Amino acid sequence: MPAAGRGTRLYPLTKVQPKEMMPVGPYPAIDWVIQELAAAEITEILVIIGPGKSALEAHLDPQQGRLPESDRPPWLSELASSRTTVYFTRQNPPGGLGEAVACARQFIGDEDFVVALGDSVIISENGAFARRLLDAHQAGQAAATLGVQRIARQQASSYGVIEVTEEIEERLLVSDVVEKPEPDQAPSDLAICGRYVFSPEIFIELDNLATDRGGELQLTDAIAALASSGKPVQAIPLAPEELRLDVGNFSSYGRAFVRGMLSHPALGPSFRKYLLKLAAHLQDSSQPNPDRA
């Protein structure tokens, strides 16, 4: 799990606090990601942190605060019972997502592995999306399997965008990936949503890769190199009922917080009532203001 980025798009909130600790409803973003991976039965997680991010290490300590059972986020029981183990390594200074993934090389060895970005929360029943990516990766004997979501074209310049040649049931065969294209240059409206499965050959591409104009190693460029050398690269879209919440910038963060509240079993229903009342008041100011007694 890469979590080394500086989070500058959320300054000043993330000047001292890692963006992965930003609350998404009642839990920090990183808890949702750990929970998703644990639910998908991924039992060993390496978190790649950068300078100023040791709060993540403290937070993910299974002994933290010895919370009573009722206050524990669901993933904590998994960590406490050692079904899932979290390890840490450092990328210092951070030099791009590609370099962050390259930091995991020794940890991974010769196995296929999932990359889950710590600032992208995926809401899917019991980690089903991560599971589908892993199953499709095996079924397609792929070098890379990318989780993708449909976006409005104007948003293309915030994402890695795929070019698709063929669709085999749920699997989209990918011939190219472009990082943050201008909307009119985007090869499709399908964007990488922060989940990937790779075979270890991605490390060879990362070794051979040149840094981009900003001096960073882009994971997307390594995936494009895999595709252009004829290695099988494929993508799996989020299902209509699945959601990606992005903690990376203010407008998407606001929505992520609201969605996080709504999907909490205990807090969700009353928060929903509040939002409905607020929406009614915003549309028609003669309706009661829910923030006044």
Q: CB-wise, 17 or 158, nearer to ligand G1P?
A: 158
Q: CB-wise, 127 or 194, nearer to ligand G1P?
A: 194
- Rounded least distance, CB 117 to ligand G1P, Å: 5
* Position closest to ligand G1P via CB: 160
- Rounded least distance, CB 9 to ligand G1P, Å: 9
Q: CB-wise, 29 or 60, nearer to ligand G1P?
A: 29
- Rounded least distance, CB 194 to ligand G1P, Å: 4
Give 3's contacts (C-beta < 8 A, 6+ positions apart): 18, 20, 30, 47, 48, 49, 50, 53, 56, 118, 119
- Rounded least distance, CB 193 to ligand G1P, Å: 6
- Rounded least distance, CB 241 to ligand G1P, Å: 20
Instruction: Give first-to-last CA distance, the chain, whole Å.
Output: 44
Q: CB-wise, 76 or 190, nearer to ligand G1P?
A: 190
- Rounded least distance, CB 280 to ligand G1P, Å: 33
Q: CB-wise, 114 or 193, nearer to ligand G1P?
A: 193
Residue 37 · residue 130 · CB < 8 Å: yes
- Rounded least distance, CB 82 to ligand G1P, Å: 30
- SS percent in the chain: helix, strand, coil, step 5: 40, 25, 35
DSSP assignment of 172-211 equals EEEEEEEES--GGG-S-SEEEEEEEEE-THHHHHHHHPPP
Which residues here bind ligand G1P, judged by CB under 6 A?
A: 97, 117, 120, 159-160, 179, 191-194, 219-220, 248
Q: CB-wise, 117 or 202, nearer to ligand G1P?
A: 117
CA 263, CA 118: separation in Å to the nearest integer? 19
Residue 57 · residue 18 · CB < 8 Å: no
β 144-150/233-237 pair status:
parallel
Question: 103 to each of 3, 88, 180, how far by Cα in Å?
Answer: 12, 11, 23
- Rounded least distance, CB 86 to ligand G1P, Å: 21
Residue 17, judged by CB atoms within 10 A of its CB (0-12, 13-18, 19+), counts as middle
Give 82's contacts (C-beta < 8 A, 6+ positions apart): none
- Residue of 194, 184, 190, 226 whose CA lies nearest to 209: 226
Q: Which two tokens stand for residue 17?
A: 């606090």
Q: CB-wise, 199 or 220, nearer to ligand G1P?
A: 220
Q: CB-wise, 76 or 192, nearer to ligand G1P?
A: 192
CA 280, CA 264: separation in Å to the nearest integer? 23
